[in-house]
Structure 1
Amino acid sequence: MIDLIVATVESRSPEGIAAGISRLIRGGALGAGDRLPTVRDLAAALGVSPATVSSAWQALGRVGLIASRGRAGSFVLEASTAWMPPHFGELAGSHVTARLDLSTGTPDPELLPDLALALGQVPTRADTASYLDMRVLPDLERTLRSSWPFVPQALTILDGALDAISRCLEVVARYGDRVVVEDPGFPAFLDLLDQLGVEAIPVAVDGEGMRPDLLATALDANPAAIIIQPRAQNPTGVSLTAKRARELARVIRSKSHLTDPVVIEDDHSGEITTAPAFSLGEWLPNRTLHVRSFAKSHGPDLRIGALGGPTSIVDRVVSRRMLGPGWTSRMLQTILFQLLTAAPSVTQISEARRVYHARQKALSEALVRHGAEHTPSDGINTWLRVADERAAIVSLAASGIRVAAGSTFYAVPREAEQFVRITVGRVHDDFDQIGALLARAARAD
C-alpha cells in the first residue's frame, strides 16, 4: 500500500498527500476498512517529516474519509451514514467536525426570529373539540393566501416541505412512473423517488432555472410529475425568473397532447430570498402544487409548511393524512401565524433577508477577487465550480472548513464538471480570508 500511495502523491505537502489518498479512496483502490500505513512509515517513504503526514491524516479525518483508532492505526471509513437514505447519508457525514461547517444547508440560528411573543399566544391546553375539526386555522389560511403566487383552490398545512412533497408524490405517482427533477437538485427528492420505486429524469438548470429545451425532451417520457424549486434552488441558489417560468409553462402546455404531469414547487426559502415569487401555477393552476415552508426563515425545528393547489389533489393528501397524523398541531399553526403577522417577527425576518443577501454578495466578491468565477446566489447556499471535488474538500478540511460534495446533488454521477455547495448564510465575517481559501480549493486537483 505504501508504494501505491507514494506513486499517487504528486505533492509532498499535507494537502498534496491528503489529496492523493482521497483519490485512491474515490477510485476504489482503498476501500472501507482498509488500514493505512503508520505516520512514521509513510513519512519515511515520502521523505517528509511525520508532522507533515500527521497534518494530512487530520485533514482526511476532518472530511470523514479516515478515522484513527489509537494504537490500532488509521482506517478508511464508510462513505455514508448507514441508517440514512443514501443521498441524505452522503450529505450528512455526521462523523465529521470542522471549525467552520459550511455544508449544513441550515440557517444561521442568530437570524431566526424570537419565539417569545408567538409562544405567548399558544393555548395553555392542547385540546380540540373533534378529530374532524378544521385542518387549517382560518387566520393562518387567509394570511398565506394573501401572499400565494397564484390563487389556489385549496390550501392545507403539513409538517414541513419534505412531508408535503412526499405526500404529493404518493398521490400523483405510482411504482414505475417517472418524475422530472432538477439537476443538480435536492438529494432528498432522489431518496423519496427511490423509496416510491419512481424513476428520476434529471433536467439541467442554468442561471434562470430549469432549462426549457431539456424539459421538452424529458416530457416525451410521459412523467407523472415535475419537481421545481422556484427560489434559492438547493444547491445552486438560483431563483426562477418570470421569463423562465413562462417558458416552462409554455413547454408543458405544448406537450399536453402527450403528457399531463403535475408540477410540484418547493418554495423552501421564500421568506429570506430577494427574488419575487414566480410560480407555474399562474399559467397552470389546475396542475400546480405549491409548497411553502418556513424552516430556513423561521426555524428548522418548527416543522411546518403549507400546500396549495387544485382541490382534487389537495383533498387526496388531506384524506390520506387522516389515517396518520391527522393534522399539523394547531398550536404550531398559532405560532406560525404570529410569526408571519406580528411586527417584531416581520422586522426580524426582513433583517435576516438583508443580512443573507449581504453575505452572499461579500463572499462572491471575495471569490472573484481571488480568481474564482462566481455570481452571487439567493438564499443561504451557493454553488462553486471546482477542478476536483474531493481535492477541494480535502484542501478546505486542512483549513478547518467543511463544504458539501457537489456529486451528492446529481441524479447521475458526472465527471465533466465538478462543484461544491457552500452554505454562505453561516459565514459571519472574514469573507476575504474564507473567499481566498475557497478560491484556492477550487483550483486544487
Structure 2
Amino acid sequence: MTDNRDAQWFAKNLTDRTIRGIALETRALIRAGALPVGTKLPPIRDLAFVLGVSPATISEAWSELRRQKIISGRGRTGTWISGDRFIAKPHRLGSSGNYGEGILNLTAAVPDPRLLPPLAEAMAYGASAENLNSYERNRIVPELEHEVRKIWPYEPEAFLATNGGYNAVYTLVHALLPPGASVAIEDPTGMRLLDILEDRGVRIIPVQCDSEGPLPPALAAALKSKPVAFIFQPRLHSVTGQSVSRKRLEALAEVLRDSDTLIVEDDGTGDISAAARHSLGEHFPSRVIHILSFSKTHGPDLRLAVLSSTRAIVDQIQSYRSFSAGWTSRILQAATAWLLRDPGTQALVDQARAVYQNRRDNLVSALQFRGVPATHGSGLCAWVPVASEPFAMVTLAAHGIAVHPGAKFAILPTRYLRVATATLSDRYEQVADSITLAAGL
C-alpha cells in the first residue's frame, strides 16, 4: 500500500451519490491519478456515513470496480486500488497460452476446417438476400426462420438471429440480467460462458452434473437462492461430451415448475451431436430461451446462431442489440438458410459427426486400455480425470502437449483435463501414453 484516502476526501470529490455515480467518479479519479495504485480505500460503513448513503450502495459500487479488476480485497484485509486500466478481458479464455512449433495443441475444441461444408455457393446465394443493405433492424430473415422451424425442438413465439452462440448469450445476459443477480449454471460448463457471467458481475451458483446432465437435487438447492436464470446445455455438453437424457430433462422440468427462473438452453454444438433435439420449451414456453449455433457444424465464419423465446423477451434482447449492430447480416442468414436446405451439406455434416465420434472414441478407448477412467461420449473433446491438474499440465507440457485444466470450466474444484479431439486424426497412442503418465491415477 502506498497511500490512503479517508472518507472525508471522498466526500469532497464524489458528487453523484448513486451506485453508478460513485463507481464512475471513483474510476475517473483513478484514471486521473488522484487515486494511485496501492491506495487503501476507507471502510464501507465510514464512507457510507459520510456520503449519506447506505453501506449497500457503496458495496454495489465497489463490486462494479472489483468486476473491472481495478480494486481488490474485502473484509478485514481492507480494499485498495489494484489497477488503473479499464479493459474488459475474458479471464479464462484470455489465460490460454501461445504455443509454438512442435507443440501438439489440444486446447481448442473447434471443428476441423477440412470437415466443414464449402461456403462459396451459399455465400453467392446470400448476396442476393431480400432487403439487402437496408438499415431496417430485422430480427431474422423469413427464409431462415422457415428452415429453423423445421428442426426446432418446440414451437416458440419468436426467433432472433445473432452473431454466433456466445454473442447470443452475451447479449441476453446484458439485456436481461442486472449486475449482482444470481445465475445458476451447470458445473462444469463452457469457459466462455463463465467469462461472460463473471464480466457481468453476477453471482454464479454452480449446479453439479452427472452423465445424464444437471442433477435435480443440485438444481433444487440452487433455486433456493432465487436465481434470475438457469443456464445449461440441453443436448450435448460441450466439455464433458455427455448428453442430457429425456428422463433427466423431465426431472429438471419438475424442479423448475414452481419457480419463475428464466431457462437458457445453449445448444452450442448443434448437429455434432447425434442425440435428439429437445427443450424445456415444451413445458415453459414463456420463460425458455433456446439457442442453436451453426458455427461448429456449418462454419465459424458464418458467425450465426438463432435463439427463440416469447415475443416480449426477444423484443427486450433486440432492444439491447440496438445499441450496437442492431441486426445480423442478411447475407449470412440467407447463406445459412441455403445450407440448411442443401442435401449435400447435410451429408457433409453427418460425415463430420462420424469422424469426430471416431476420433474421440479412439483416444478414450486408448486411455481406458491404460487404466485411465475417461468416459465415452460425443463431441469435440474428452473430459479426463487426473490426480492433480497442475502436475498433469506440467507433465504434458514436458511431452509437448497442450491441454486445458478442468478448473477453467468450473466454479467447483476439479481434477480433470479438457482434451480437444476434433483435429486429433492420429497419434492416439502417443497422446494416451502421455496423458496416462500425467493423470497419476
Coarse TM-score class (shorter-chain normalised): 0.7 to 0.9
Q: 1:325 to 1:133 in 2, by over 3 A?
A: closer
Q: Which of 431, 436, 439 does residue 439 from structure 1 map onto?
A: 436
| 3-state secondary structure, aligned to 1:422 | strand
Partner of 2:180: 176
**Contact 2:176/2:317 (<8 A) preserved:** no
Post-superposition shift, 1:95? 5.3
Alpha-carbon distance in structure 2 between the residues aligned to 1:193 and 1:97 = 34
Partner of 1:201: 205
Post-superposition shift, 1:124? 6.2
Post-superposition shift, 1:436? 2.4
**Contact 1:275/1:378 (<8 A) preserved:** no
Partner of 2:298: 298
**Contact 1:149/1:277 (<8 A) preserved:** yes
| 3-state secondary structure, aligned to 1:439 | helix
**Contact 2:212/2:248 (<8 A) preserved:** yes
Give the alignment of 1:392-431 within 5 angstroms.
Answer: 392-412=392-412, 414=413, 417-431=414-428
**Contact 1:383/1:422 (<8 A) preserved:** yes
Give the alignment of 1:280-295 within 5 angstroms.
Answer: 280-295=280-295
Post-superposition shift, 1:433? 2.8
Alpha-carbon distance in structure 1 between the residues aligned to 2:105 and 2:340 = 29
- Higher relative contact order (Cα pairs below 8 Å, separated by 6+ residues): 1
With normalisation by structure 1, the TM-score equals: 0.76
Give the alignment of 1:115-264 within 5 angstroms.
Answer: 115-123=119-127, 128=132, 130-132=134-136, 134-253=138-257, 256=258, 259-264=259-264
Partner of 1:361: 361
- The answer to whether 1:347 aligns with 2:347 is yes
Partner of 1:391: 391
Post-superposition shift, 1:109? 1.2
Post-superposition shift, 1:339? 1.7
| 3-state secondary structure, aligned to 1:120 | helix
Q: 1:98 to 1:260 in 2, by over 3 A?
A: farther
Post-superposition shift, 1:333? 0.7
**Contact 1:271/1:297 (<8 A) preserved:** yes
Partner of 2:90: 85
Paired amino acid for 1:138: P
Post-superposition shift, 1:98? 5.0
Residues 78-130 of structure 1: CA deviation (Å, up to 9, x unaligned): xxxx973212223x223566532111121111111111221231326997364
Post-superposition shift, 1:276? 1.3
Q: 1:278 to 1:96 in 2, by over 3 A?
A: farther
Post-superposition shift, 1:329? 0.5
**Stretch of structure 1 that moved more, 134-143 or 242-251:** 134-143
Paired amino acid for 1:272: I
What percent of counterpart residues are identical?
37
Paired amino acid for 2:229: A
**Contact 2:106/2:403 (<8 A) preserved:** yes
Partner of 1:381: 381
Alpha-carbon distance in structure 2 between the residues aligned to 1:211 and 1:428 = 34
Residues 143-163 of structure 1: CA deviation (Å, up to 9, x unaligned): 101111111110010011111
**Contact 2:128/2:331 (<8 A) preserved:** no
**Stretch of structure 1 that moved more, 282-291 or 213-222:** 282-291
Partner of 1:271: 271
Post-superposition shift, 1:319? 2.4
Give the alignment of 1:25-64 within 5 angstroms.
Answer: none
Paired amino acid for 1:115: L
Post-superposition shift, 1:175? 2.1
**Stretch of structure 1 that moved more, 213-222 or 385-394:** 385-394
Residues 277-296 of structure 1: CA deviation (Å, up to 9, x unaligned): 12111211111100000111
Residues 295-325 of structure 1: CA deviation (Å, up to 9, x unaligned): 1112222211001111110111122223321
Paired amino acid for 1:379: G
Residues 301-360 of structure 1: CA deviation (Å, up to 9, x unaligned): 221100111111011112222332111000011221122121221111110011111112
**Contact 2:236/2:269 (<8 A) preserved:** yes
Partner of 2:370: 370
Paired amino acid for 1:284: F
Residues 192-227 of structure 1: CA deviation (Å, up to 9, x unaligned): 222222100011111011111010011000000000
| 3-state secondary structure, aligned to 2:411 | coil
Q: 1:97 to 1:383 in 2, by over 3 A?
A: farther
Q: 1:129 to 1:386 in 2, by over 3 A?
A: closer
**Contact 1:274/1:357 (<8 A) preserved:** no
**Contact 2:238/2:380 (<8 A) preserved:** no
**Contact 2:132/2:331 (<8 A) preserved:** no
With normalisation by structure 2, the TM-score equals: 0.77
Residues 161-192 of structure 1: CA deviation (Å, up to 9, x unaligned): 11111222223211221000111111222222
Alpha-carbon distance in structure 1 between the residues aligned to 2:399 and 2:311 = 52
Paired amino acid for 2:299: G
Partner of 1:70: none
Partner of 2:309: 309
Runs of 5+ in structure 1 lacking a partner?
Answer: 1-81
Q: 1:243 to 1:203 in 2, by over 3 A?
A: same
Alpha-carbon distance in structure 1 between the residues aligned to 2:101 and 2:276 = 36
Alpha-carbon distance in structure 2 between the residues aligned to 1:229 and 1:340 = 22
